[in-house]
Amino acid sequence: MPRLLDYQDRLEDIPFDFHEMIGALAPRHCFVSAPLGDTNFKWRSVDNIAKAASPIYQLYGVPKNLRVEHPDCGHLFPKEMREIAYQLFDENLR
């Protein structure tokens, strides 16, 4: 993935569409932790991407396989989010 910082204030120049990348994962699980205080990635943008990708998950009949959580922290992956990810791995990768 190219350095996204190179596209600061020029999002339209990013050479791929995030919602298409997420949609390509369907019907597999996709868990995104988008912290409210993240200064690298805006949580509202993540919600827009998930909203755009969600029809693909619905098409496959697995809308719950696309999950976005918003912990109240900065650009971190806090313990409660790691636990959700570990549980997802345990349930789906064994």
pLDDT, one tens digit per residue, over 11-53 is 788 888 999 999 999 999 999 999 999 988 899 999 999 999 9
The token pair at 69 is 């959580």
Does the pTM of the predicted model rise above 0.85?
Answer: yes
Question: What Å distances lie between residue 29 and 5, 22, 67, CA to CA?
Answer: 27, 10, 8
C-alpha triplet 16, 19, 20: angle, nearest 5°: 60
Average pLDDT of the segment spanning 47-63 = 98
For residue 3, the SS3 value is coil
Q: What kind and span of H or E run contains 86?
A: helix 79-92
Check if the beta carbon of residue 71 is closer than 8 Å to that of residue 35. yes
